[in-house]
């Protein structure tokens, strides 16, 4: 969430940033927010004056009673009753205006970093790096959903029977390979200095609001209405909320966490061949990395996270590319995002397997996550997160790119984790 003072003091910068996101009502939204803040401040000033006058009269009344001037004291008491009524009305108005301002702030996305390219959607994202040789597959090579059926390692129909579409069942070597990837990703992350945590898979509304999933992505989250809890769309939500309402010391930076969790997304409106098989699921596994950084170090940290993900894909020997997302494709909370995509030869398309993002102080403002700087003043921290990695499309690409006439050859780095070197 942007700070209202920042919006007020940088109106044109905020409008231009929102327009970079192709927000058509940017000027109106910013103007309404500033107007609501001005109204709130005016009401607060009036309320403070009324309360100050009421306090002064209370002291005067006490003095008059002590000096025996009871009639004058009673007249002033009548005035304090009027002031109390006035203060009650002003307090209610202040709360209503504060709520209005809060709702406006909740729907304003983060301001893109200046290096974010202009663009309307994924076709306008900028490729900044590409590495790896795209394999030439044998005749009759299959997409992963056919390979899963051929080798009986993932059962989409069984998952549909148990739950519904988008909830696959991993079987045999498929389940072991899935577990191997999770352990491999966690080991890579912890070796890089990320502390592993196990977190709840359901969060309360306050946690969803703090990291920006609510109200922006409410329709994409599974919701238990009875307890008002939400199934997590990513480990980012519970891990980042570890630091909600926390004041850090400056020497505690950087804070680095990693977690494995299942993730749940309704993915409403997702249809077609491009979401077939593992390409888009309602439940999937992901290993996440989260950082809390000093503002002066957050972009250096973002580059480090990108290099870390690069290293994993290099070890898997997967052809991949890195995209800098354009303004129109940037997530609600992000200031700058790099997407990692690996190439699926069998599908002849790129599959997103990771996003690493810097939110600057956008989440921290909602989280009330601060630190004491060298001057002893309280300052908002910066938060970052990334997939390291999301499993479904990594697994899809691995199955498709590593297939041979003899079977699916497991990348060498994973063999110690899964205990076999081929699926046949």
- Binding-site residues from annotation: 234, 265-267, 288, 352-355, 385
Decide: 45 and 143 in contact? Cβ < 8 Å. Answer: no
Q: Which residues pair with 323 in a beta bridge?
A: 127, 339
Other beta carbons less than 10 A from residue 55's beta carbon: 12
For residue 85, what are its two tokens?
A: 């009524």
- CA angle at 290 for the pair 285 and 295, rounded to the nearest 5°: 155
Residue 312 φ/ψ, nearest 5 degrees: -65, -45
Binding residues for ATP: 265-267, 352-355
Cα dihedral 392, 201, 295, 194 sign: negative
Q: Residue 26's Cα: distance from chain center in Å?
A: 22
Contacts of 272 (CB under 8 A, 6+ apart): none
For residue 174, what are its two tokens?
A: 């498929």
CA distances, 284 to each of 97, 127, 233 (Å): 41, 27, 9
Distance CA 268, CA 163 (A): 16
Place of tokens 């304090």: 80
């Amino acid at each position: 969430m942007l700070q209202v003072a920042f919006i007020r003091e940088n109106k044109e910068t905020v409008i231009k940033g929102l327009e970079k996101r192709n927000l058509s009502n940017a000027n109106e939204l910013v103007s309404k927010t500033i107007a609501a803040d001005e109204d709130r401040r005016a009401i607060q000033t009036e309320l403070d004056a009324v309360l100050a006058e009421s306090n002064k009269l209370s002291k005067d009344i006490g003095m008059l009673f002590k000096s025996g001037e009871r009639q004058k004291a009673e007249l002033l008491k009548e005035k304090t009753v009027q002031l109390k009524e006035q203060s009650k009305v002003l307090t209610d108005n202040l709360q209503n205006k504060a709520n209005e301002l809060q709702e406006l702030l909740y729907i304003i996305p983060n301001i893109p970093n200046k290096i974010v390219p202009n663009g309307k959607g994924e076709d306008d994202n900028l490729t900044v790096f590409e590495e790896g040789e795209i394999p030439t597959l044998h005749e009759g090579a299959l997409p992963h959903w056919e390979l899963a059926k051929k080798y009986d390692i993932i059962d989409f129909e069984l998952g549909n029977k148990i739950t519904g579409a988008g909830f696959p069942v991993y079987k045999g070597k498929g389940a072991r390979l899935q577990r191997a990837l999770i352990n491999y990703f966690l080991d890579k992350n912890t070796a890089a200095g990320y502390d592993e945590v196990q977190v709840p898979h359901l969060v309360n509304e306050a946690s969803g609001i703090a990291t920006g999933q609510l109200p922006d992505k409410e329709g994409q989250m599974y919701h238990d209405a009875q307890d008002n809890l939400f199934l997590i769309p990513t480990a980012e939500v519970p891990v980042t909320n570890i630091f909600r309402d926390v004041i850090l010391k400056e020497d505690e930076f950087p804070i680095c966490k990693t977690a494995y969790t299942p993730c749940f997304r309704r993915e409403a409106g997702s249809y077609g061949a491009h979401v077939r098989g593992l390409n888009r699921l309602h439940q999937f596994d992901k290993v996440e990395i989260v950082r809390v950084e000093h503002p002066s170090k957050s972009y250096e940290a973002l580059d480090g996270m990108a290099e870390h993900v690069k290293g994993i894909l290099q070890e898997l020997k997967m052809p991949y590319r890195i995209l800098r997302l354009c303004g129109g494709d940037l997530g609600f909370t992000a200031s700058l995002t790099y997407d990692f995509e690996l190439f699926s030869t069998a599908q002849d398309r790129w599959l997103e397997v990771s996003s690493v993002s810097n939110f600057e102080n956008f989440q921290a403002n909602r989280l009330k996550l601060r630190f004491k700087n060298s001057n002893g003043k309280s300052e908002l921290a910066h938060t970052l997160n990334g997939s390291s990695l999301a499993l479904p499309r990594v697994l899809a690409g691995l199955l498709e790119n590593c297939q041979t006439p003899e079977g699916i050859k497991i990348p060498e780095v994973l063999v110690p984790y899964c205990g076999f070197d081929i699926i046949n």
